[in-house]
Chain A
Amino acid sequence: MAVSFREVTKRFADGTTALDRLNLEFDLGEFIVLLGPSGSGKTTACRLLAGLETPSDGRIELNGQDITSLPPRLRGIGMVFQNYALYSHKSVFENIAYPLRIRKDGAADVERRVKSIAELLQIQPYLHRKPAQLSGGQAQRVAVARALVWEPTICLMDEPLSNLDALLRLHMRTELNRLHRSLDKTFVFVTHDQEEAMTLATRIAVLKDGKLVQFDEPRAIYRRPANRFVAEFMGRPAMNTIDGTVEDGVFRAGDIVCPAECPEGPVTLGIRPEQIELAEQGAGGAMALVLDVKELIEPETLLIFQNRGNSLTIRTQRDCDGLRPGQPLGLRFPREALHYFDARTGERLR
């Protein structure tokens, strides 16, 4: 394994534990996304790998070498910051060239490498400008170019897209995907946006309260979430989670009744909005719920139902023009789409 966190703990001076015995290993060449809500420790993990923070406990290894107490400049890792962190007194060219200048590369070599990375990121026209004259998207590209120009082993990105507007964010996401493919570098990307994580990552590490909750490929995380938190965090709209009880192989929670394949007792049932099927009322296995709200998000429709004070969301591609709020509808939960979580701990049961 190329990069490994071994039992890494980080406690800050104010007593907060940002990371709690993190164990994480990944290969070079991967696109790893550290995903979690704010305060989950994802940025701390990234900064520990960069060397900008030192762990309170545990070890970090790179290619088998212990780098825990190595200063950032000796780690061979580049980094892109959320606020770009460009040197305002230098031109774009000099910003990108800076890591090479520190390494005392020859002038011709610097020129060649800056031009080549600038071409890759399509920022050649701005090379002579000052950072203050750039738009957010251009500044972010410059920051990426500066982090990659000296060909570090790993490129870290701490929420690099969150200062960009929505359209630009989508565009940069695609660019990063392409960049990762063409450079064959290791990217470690920090984000709280599950969509970014799903689209970019070869593997996603989901963190919560300083602990690693799940580390797997995006598809696996979506299809087999390790617990209720991951289930609700991944996918928009969020997975429906319904607290109820299983008795005699049947799950019951208010109007929702369906066959269940899990141990008896209190259980949280999970089902993704796109996997609930609309059915004829009274058809076999269908239950009737009253439609509360209809939201059109072309080309799909969100149908929201109320069940004992909790809402249940369905995402469907069917034409829902004829449906009116207040109208009862038949719903069916396909057996293979159901997730079961422990009602107390939230852990996956099956």
Chain B
Amino acid sequence: MSKPYKILAVGILACVLVVALTPYLWILLASFKGRLDILSPVPRWFFTPTLDNYPAVFIGKDYLPLVFNSLIISTASTVLSICVGAPAAYVFARTDFPGKEDLFFFFLTTRMAPPISIAVPLFMFFTVLGLTDTIYSVVIAHTSFNLSLVVWMMRGFFAEIPKEIDEAAMMDGRSKLGAFVRVIVPMAAPGLAATSVLCFILSWNEFLYAFILVAFEGRPLTVGIPGLITPHGTLWGQVAAVAVVATLPILVFTFLVQKHLVRGLTFGAVKG
């Protein structure tokens, strides 16, 4: 790469980085600011930091259980999506049957509808089942959109593994199911990891369905934030504290699997 080109590339990257990171830094700083510093009309980069916001919201307002709710919802919906979606993706990758591509496209279309258009029917559906205001309804709702992601991404990963591997495992003494569970799944582990992390993040960040389906019990963190908008004003410091805590698991996960994540995403794009 020539030198001016390189400078240009670095310049663009720097701009993108500033645009992407500024809001996050802003929130991070805000979570350590007192009320006066936050509401100051001129942004204050230098201020006396305070640790009050965190205990005020997580202990004072009892938001700590919401973190666990978020964890339970995201983990359960990820596990459920993988357990149901991965075998489906394997079938899409390995077998031919009439209407296969149509069915696959149908899975994708479940993600194309605007979420708000499904929200009300989903609420009525869970009302009939008596599941509204329970953590289960959110887990199932999140699984409904994560499932298509799993099928779409994992199909590409499974297709990467030659079908002779399945056959070799069967010749070595495995049943068809055994070959999938004991050989193909371990070989597709990087793909499974990337897909799981994406599912986890999507579920963790989801607001709309959770907001409509649960009001008190089983509220995740995202639904907790509007509770900090009070008639007496928005508690910006506490909002920032919740937001910072809410981004932590995603940061950790993404750093852990970023290599696989990029690989997984490009595979899905090419193969799917």
Binding site for B on A (CB under 8 A): 13, 50-52, 71-73, 77-79, 81-83, 85-89, 98-99, 102-103, 146-147, 150
CA distance A204 to B18 in the complex (A): 71
A77: nearest chain-B partner, CB-CB? B171
Beyond A85-B162, A87-B165, is A72–B186 a contact (Cβ under 8 Å)?
Answer: no
Name the prevailing secondary structure of the B interface residues: helix
A52, A87, A103: the one within 8 Å of B167 (CB)? A52
B168: nearest chain-A partner, CB-CB? A85
Interface status of B28 (Cβ within 8 A of chain A):
no
CA distance A89 to B191 in the complex (A): 14
**Residues of B contacting A72 with CB < 8 Å?**
167, 170-171
CA distance A171 to B168 in the complex (A): 24
Besides A81-B167, A85-B162, A150-B173, 17 other CB < 8 A contacts? A50-B171, A52-B167, A52-B171, A71-B176, A72-B171, A73-B170, A77-B171, A78-B172, A79-B167, A79-B171, A81-B168, A83-B162, A83-B164, A85-B164, A85-B165, A102-B172, A150-B172
Within 8 A of A (CB), among B149-185: 162, 164-165, 167-176, 183
Is the CB–CB distance between B187 and A88 below 8 Å? Answer: yes
Is the CB–CB distance between A73 and B186 below 8 Å? Answer: no
Query: Within the complex, what minimum Cβ distance (angstroms) separates B254 from chain A?
Result: 24
CA distance A319 to B186 in the complex (A): 63
Is the CB–CB distance between A73 and B174 below 8 Å? Answer: yes
**Residues of B contacting A73 with CB < 8 Å?**
170-175
B170, B171, B173, B183: the one within 8 Å of A87 (CB)? B183
B97: nearest chain-A partner, CB-CB? A13
B190: nearest chain-A partner, CB-CB? A89
Interface status of B102 (Cβ within 8 A of chain A):
no
Interface status of B256 (Cβ within 8 A of chain A):
no
A50: nearest chain-B partner, CB-CB? B171
Is the CB–CB distance between B173 and A103 below 8 Å? Answer: yes
Number of chain B residues whose Cβ lies closer than 8 Å to a Cβ of chain A: 18
A76: nearest chain-B partner, CB-CB? B173
Task: Show 12 A/B contacts (Cβ-Cβ < 8 Å), sorted by A.
Answer: A72-B167, A72-B170, A73-B171, A73-B173, A81-B168, A83-B162, A85-B167, A87-B169, A87-B183, A87-B187, A147-B171, A150-B172
**Residues of A contacting B162 with CB < 8 Å?**
83, 85
Is the CB–CB distance between B172 and A89 below 8 Å? Answer: no
Query: Within the complex, what minimum Cβ distance (angstroms) separates B100 from chain A?
Result: 12
Residue of A51, A71, A72 with most partner-chain B CB within 10 A: A72
Is the CB–CB distance between A78 and B171 below 8 Å? Answer: yes
**Residues of A contacting B169 with CB < 8 Å?**
87, 98
Beyond A71-B175, A83-B162, is A89–B170 a contact (Cβ under 8 Å)?
Answer: no
Within 8 A of A (CB), among B167-223: 167-176, 183, 186-187, 189
**Residues of B contacting A103 with CB < 8 Å?**
173
Is the CB–CB distance between A71 and B170 below 8 Å? Answer: yes
**Residues of A contacting B175 with CB < 8 Å?**
71, 73
B165, B167, B173, B187: the one within 8 Å of A102 (CB)? B173
